[in-house]
């Protein structure tokens, strides 16, 4: 029975080789698939700009459609590089003879050498899982980069790889990719906002002049772009204009839909720059774990209210809407480990170099947001010892402790 099945498969393979030899080549669809995928990418941008879908969903859809676009572009390139002339009748006959003779012979030879009829087979699902599992992210990035090196004018490809670079920490590459996408695909509010985010990441959290201009262009094109509006407020705060930052964030909160994933984070930022105590010093009945995590991360990484970040310790941007969406998918243990790891790295740095008053202020606030009042008090005490020769800075620590209600 096994040999009958093998013979039938061989006949099918020979027929598959002979069938195209008996027909003339027909015209292919050319670039129609590519045009469809490009239209789909533009549709996603329109839906995102209209607020019909979130940034996380839009980014996922862009990656999937662009992957198909890259495949269609490769297929189109291969078709255009194929010889245009059809094979002659004589060549077809030779190919048919070779197929009839060599295909069964080669298949039989390989099977006798490598085959094992007594070994149970694996399911197709197992093979597919192994194939996908064996391909690392680095391999996928290398393939995308090879494609872009071959076709540097593929704007969709640059738009797909830019957020990957950002999440990998390759910030300069992310900036370059965002700029190429804008140059090739055109200027949109979403692309300008994404460029600004990459520029902020490359500047280690500082909203540079170029980034501010990109965010302003995004808001000019889409007044409802929450990410761009948040960063414009952060730029004001870093310039020392906390009143302007509070005004921008207050307007953002007032206009936000009640289910916006970033709403609680922006409220926490607004309370911080307004000089009011945070909404809670720990998780409350009305606050979700992701929002608390975002607030703690922001407290550990953002500049303190009323001060521009010093050159030696630039501020780090707070979580974006995409980061909040990612936090929603984490378990409580994963989220807690992530945030506490960030806070612990800040604490370790301050133990090694306690001269950074901004760092101490962020550490005390982070512990307060996490509900660790004892650690917040201990951090304040450590800060006073480390800054004993600087009474003005100690006063800032004392003012923060009083504002957070950590006295006594």
CB within 8 Å of 173: residues ≥ 6 apart:
165
Residue 299, domain extent: 261-408
Average pLDDT, stretch 217-233? 93
Average pLDDT over residues 388-407: 85
Question: DSSP state, 85?
Answer: S
Q: What pLDDT band is residue 2 in, cutting at 50, 70 and 90?
A: low
Q: Extract long-range pairs of 140-145: CB within 8 Å, 24+ residues apart.
A: 141/168, 144/70
Report the percentage of the chain scoring pLDDT > 70: 63
Q: Residue 137: its pLDDT value, please?
A: 66
| In a domain? residue 313 | yes
Flag whether 285 is in a domain: yes
Q: How many domains does the chain have?
A: 1
In this predicted model, what pLDDT tens digit does every residue of 104-157 receive, in sequence order? 677 667 766 666 655 555 544 344 444 444 456 677 788 888 888 999 999 888
What CA–CA distance (Å, rounded) separates 300 from 292? 12
137 within a domain of the structure (yes/no): no
Q: Is the pLDDT of residue 294 over 90?
A: no
pLDDT of residue 283: 38
Question: Residue 344: what pLDDT?
Answer: 83
- 361, 401 contact by CB (below 8 A): no
Distances in Å between the Cα of 120 and the Cα atoms of 33, 117, 127 are 40, 8, 14
Q: Is the pLDDT of residue 299 over 70?
A: no
Burial class (CB in 10 A: 0-12, 13-18, 19+), 379: buried
Helix residue ranges, H only, 256-390: 263-274, 289-301, 321-329, 332-352, 357-369, 373-386
Residue 102 CB-half CA count within 13 A? 8
pLDDT for residue 308? 33
384 is a domain residue: yes
pLDDT for 292: 46
Please, are residues 181 and 155 in contact by the beta-carbon 8 Å criterion?
A: yes
Q: How confident is the model at residue 302 (pLDDT cuts 50, 70, 90)?
A: very low
* Cα–Cα dist 329/338, whole Å: 13
pLDDT at residue number 403: 75
Domain presence at residue 354: yes
Under 8 Å between Cβ of 404 and 376? yes
Asked if residue 209 belongs to a domain, the reply is no
Average pLDDT over residues 346-372: 83
The predicted model scores a pTM of 0.41
**C-alpha span between 345 and 340 (Å, rounded):** 8
Evaluate whether residue 296 is within a structural domain. Answer: yes
Place 333 in a pLDDT band, splitting at 50, 70 and 90: low
In whole numbers, what is the pLDDT of the chain averaged over residues?
A: 74
Q: Which residues contact 227 (CB under 8 A, 6 or more apart)?
A: 55, 193, 197, 218, 320, 321
- Please report whether residue 282 resides in a domain: yes
Residue 335 has pLDDT above 90, yes or no: no
């Amino acid at each position: 029975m096994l040999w009958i099945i093998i013979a039938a498969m061989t006949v099918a393979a020979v027929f598959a080789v002979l069938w195209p030899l008996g027909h003339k080549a027909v015209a292919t669809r050319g670039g129609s698939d590519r045009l469809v995928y490009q239209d789909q990418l533009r549709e996603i941008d329109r839906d995102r700009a209209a607020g019909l879908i979130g940034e996380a969903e839009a980014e996922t859809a862009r990656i999937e459609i662009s992957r198909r676009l890259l495949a269609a572009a490769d297929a189109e390139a291969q078709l255009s590089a194929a010889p245009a002339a059809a094979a002659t009748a004589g060549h077809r006959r030779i190919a048919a003879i070779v197929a009839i003779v060599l295909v069964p012979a080669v298949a039989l030879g390989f099977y006798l050498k490598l085959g094992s009829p007594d070994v149970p087979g694996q399911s197709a699902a197992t093979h597919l899982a192994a194939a996908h599992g064996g391909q690392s992210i680095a391999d996928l990035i290398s393939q995308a980069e090879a494609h872009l090196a071959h076709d540097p004018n593929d704007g969709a490809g640059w738009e797909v790889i830019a957020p990957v670079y950002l999440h990998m920490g390759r910030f300069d590459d992310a900036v370059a990719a965002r700029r190429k996408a804008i140059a090739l695909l055109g200027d949109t509010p979403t692309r300008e906002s994404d460029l600004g985010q990459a520029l902020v990441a490359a500047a280690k959290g500082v909203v540079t002049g170029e980034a501010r201009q990109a965010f302003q262009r995004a808001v000019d094109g889409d007044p409802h772009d929450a990410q761009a509006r948040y960063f414009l407020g952060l730029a004001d705060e870093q310039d020392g204009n906390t009143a302007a930052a509070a005004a921008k964030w207050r307007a953002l909160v007032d206009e936000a839909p009640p289910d916006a994933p970033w709403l609680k984070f922006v409220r926490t930022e607004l309370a911080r720059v307004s000089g009011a105590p945070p909404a809670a010093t720990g998780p409350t009945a009305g606050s979700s774990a992701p929002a608390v995590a975002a607030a703690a991360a922001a407290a550990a990484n953002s500049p303190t209210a009323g001060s521009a970040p010093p050159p030696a310790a630039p501020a780090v941007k707070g979580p974006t809407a995409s980061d909040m969406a990612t936090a929603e998918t984490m378990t409580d243990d994963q989220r807690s480990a992530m945030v506490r790891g960030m806070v612990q790295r800040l604490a370790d740095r301050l133990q090694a170099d306690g001269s950074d008053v901004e760092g101490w202020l962020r550490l005390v606030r982070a512990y307060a947001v996490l509900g660790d009042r004892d650690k917040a008090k201990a951090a304040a005490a450590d800060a006073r010892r480390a800054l004993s020769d600087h009474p003005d800075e100690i006063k800032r620590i004392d003012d923060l402790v009083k504002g957070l209600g950590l006295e006594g």
